[in-house]
Chain A
Amino acid sequence: MSTPQSVVAPVIHGSLTRSRPDVIGGIFSVILLLSLLFSLAVLGILISDQLSRGMPVFAERGVDFLTSSLSSNPAKAGVLQGLIGTALLAVMVALFAFPIGILTAVYLEEYASANLLTRFIDINIRNLAGVPSVVYGLLGLAIFVAAFSTLGIGNGRNIITGGLTLAVLILPLVIITSAEAIRAVPNALREGGYGLGASRWQVVRGLVLPSAVPGILTGTVLSLSRALGETAPLIVAGAVLGSFSNGGSIGELFGGSYTALPVIVYDWARKPQDEFRALTSAAIIVLLVVTFLANAFAIILRNRYDRRW
């Protein structure tokens, strides 16, 4: 017995400790790293390119660019109406989409029984999440704008119909992310509540929702920042391209013409003059700062309230 072993052992030992360099494996891992660096490079080039085009505008005009209204004169044009529009849209999206989205998530996770209706609603929400944003613009145009103009509120192309359109657009996202946050709450918490005699709603309101708040907040704020960058649904549903003036009254603000930061970016990007190219980049910087702030806010909320089970 000892003879064959002594023959085999060195061979096995040799093949296991063979130190032939793995050239193909090495090349492959370099390719993998390069593919990731591609995304990083795109991001770096995009941001530095836009900064180099847009910063001169801020250097020259300073805060004036943020506090001026739209104008066909590039030396005077600013993004004030876009900032106001985007802020109002954000408030309206939060008012319409957050309550309905979170209540739907509670229904799907805590109340719905596994029947046909629930499955239908679930599949429906997943499909809605995949509908291109421009199609939501058509929905806004055919239903919200039409309803408002039938009611005689201007031509219906106002910031409320724009806000409703964006709210409907991100509703599936709000539902899906909130449902995930609620699902992550351990069952023991619910059982503890029921064991003490709490009703279903008492368990949801007193135990499940407070524990799911960080996840829900992160998801909703991220959805909101997605809505703030959307352009296509707004231009289809009637945001104004080009300059306009609002009387300054509340009625004009909500019932009259409106625009938003990304719509201004699109409008200026179409203009051939070089001055507007620089203004477009400056508006892009403002838009990126706004969406990054919203994202950073979501991450801070998550880190502050995050809880591990």
Chain B
Amino acid sequence: MSAIPGAIGPSLQGSPQRRRNELAVRAVLTAAAVVSVFISAGIVVSLIFEAITFVTQIEIADLFAAGWFPRRGMFSIPTVLAGTLIVTGIAMLIATPIGLLSAIYLSEYAAPRTRSIVKPILEILAGIPSVVLGFFALVWIGPNIVQAFFGAPTPFSLAAAGIGVGILAIPLVASVSEDAMRAVPSGLREASYGLGARRLTTSIRVVVPAAISGIVAALILAVSRAIGETMVVAVAAGATGGSLFTTDPFGQGTTLTAAMAALATGSDQVVGDGAAFLSLFFLGFVLFVMTMALNVIGDVFVRRTRQRY
């Protein structure tokens, strides 16, 4: 009896040639997978290293100057954060209601045929390059919405950029929260209908609460996306040379990302080791930490929906 496994064992392992091939393939695949780890390490190391160099080169007081004018040594972090907050806030004012209502429609109301026609619209919107939306925000949203209804002095404004970023975030909110709502077991809906609830009540009182962690995740991921969106703000928010601290959404202003784009495209292109050049990495580091924190929190919520049902 004991001789048989001994004989079968080696023959199941295959020839040495075959095992060598398998090991080589596994080594190549593992190497490919490890590339992504090196990319993360590269991002973290280059950001941290240059950001620390930046902080040691300037006075800490420069970080709280009256405005963001990197070429004059004024690196006001509150200015870029306030701009980012305004743009993100306006973007979420647009993307939250439109995205969530679209998700409820797609998940609870639309017939499969309607859905197959309507869903590509959101996919096309998601595929529009952000620089195109930035130009649209500048030449159409700026004059026709922000200037016409809110009396902004120029087509350039944080509000126009915020609306543009909000439009970009709609497909993200809609698709992530639609996934969460579709993951709600139909038994819950049937029970609700069985008790005599109409479709409105079932959607709002049963499906949405059951899908709430997925919806929260969608909103968190959208905030993260809005904070990191660069080209819309770079084109439509104005203030490319720098900005004083402002909380006026209808004026020009700058954000974390717009300040980075301006640094990279300024008249004298960032070269050398000047503090202005290094501030690019400092802003990148702040942006990276903020979006990473939001993504990790969002991921926790996404996983929670998956586990529940």
Contact with A along B52-70 (1 / 0, CB 8 A): 0000000000000000000
Contact with A along B18-46 (1 / 0, CB 8 A): 10011001101110111111011011001
Q: Taking chain B's interface residues, is the majority helix, strand, or loop, or is none over half, making it mixed?
A: helix
- Whether B240 lies near A231 (C-beta < 8 A) is no
**CB-CB under 8 A for A229 and B200, given A32-B104, A133-B228, A138-B280:** no
CB distance from B245 to the nearest CB of A (A): 22
CA distance A33 to B108 in the complex (A): 12
B25 to chain A: which residues have CB within 8 Å?
200-201
Interface band, chain A? 35 or more
B148 within 8 A of A: no
CA distance A29 to B281 in the complex (A): 48
CA distance A104 to B36 in the complex (A): 9
CA distance A178 to B25 in the complex (A): 18
- Whether A132 lies near B230 (C-beta < 8 A) is yes
- Whether A35 lies near B32 (C-beta < 8 A) is no
A208 within 8 A of B: no
B79 within 8 A of A: no
Instruction: Tell me which of A70-78, A107-115, A243-251, A300-308 binds B.
Output: A107-115
A42 within 8 A of B: yes
CB distance from B307 to the nearest CB of A (A): 16
A92 within 8 A of B: no
- Whether A111 lies near B132 (C-beta < 8 A) is no
CA distance A35 to B106 in the complex (A): 11
A295 to chain B: which residues have CB within 8 Å?
124, 127
**CB-CB under 8 A for A100 and B32, given A35-B97, A139-B42, A235-B261:** yes
B81 within 8 A of A: no
A230 within 8 A of B: yes
**CB-CB under 8 A for A132 and B46, given A32-B105, A103-B32, A288-B128:** no
A61 to chain B: which residues have CB within 8 Å?
none
- Whether B32 lies near A24 (C-beta < 8 A) is no
Residue of A28, A111, A168 near B200 (CB, 8 A) is A28
Instruction: Tell me which of B85-93, B135-143, B179-187 binds A.
Output: B135-143
A88 within 8 A of B: no
A43 to chain B: which residues have CB within 8 Å?
121, 124-125, 128
- Whether B281 lies near A142 (C-beta < 8 A) is yes
- Whether A124 lies near B109 (C-beta < 8 A) is no
Interface hits, A87-132 → B, CB 8 Å: 99-100, 103-104, 106-108, 111-112, 120-121, 124-128, 130-132
Instruction: Tell me which of B2-10, B206-214, B246-254, B286-294 binds A.
Output: B286-294
A153 within 8 A of B: no
- Whether A104 lies near B35 (C-beta < 8 A) is yes
CA distance A117 to B157 in the complex (A): 47
- Whether B46 lies near A124 (C-beta < 8 A) is no
**CB-CB under 8 A for A134 and B257, given A107-B33, A128-B39:** yes
B98 within 8 A of A: yes
- Whether A25 lies near B200 (C-beta < 8 A) is yes
B153 to chain A: which residues have CB within 8 Å?
none
A277 within 8 A of B: yes
Closest to B224 in A: A130
Interface hits, A232-283 → B, CB 8 Å: 232, 235-236, 241, 262, 265-266, 269-270, 277, 280-281
18 CB < 8 A contacts A-B: A32-B101, A35-B102, A35-B105, A38-B98, A39-B125, A39-B171, A99-B32, A104-B35, A130-B295, A132-B230, A136-B43, A143-B42, A199-B22, A231-B230, A266-B231, A269-B131, A277-B139, A288-B129
A binding-site residues for B, Cβ under 8 Å: 22, 24-25, 28-29, 31-33, 35-36, 38-40, 42-43, 45-46, 49-50, 53, 99-100, 103-104, 106-108, 111-112, 120-121, 124-128, 130-139, 142-143, 168, 171-172, 175, 199-201, 225-226, 228-232, 235-236, 241, 262, 265-266, 269-270, 277, 280-281, 284, 287-288, 291-292, 295
Q: Which 4 A-B pairs have the closest CB atoms?
A: A132-B228, A229-B129, A142-B46, A35-B101
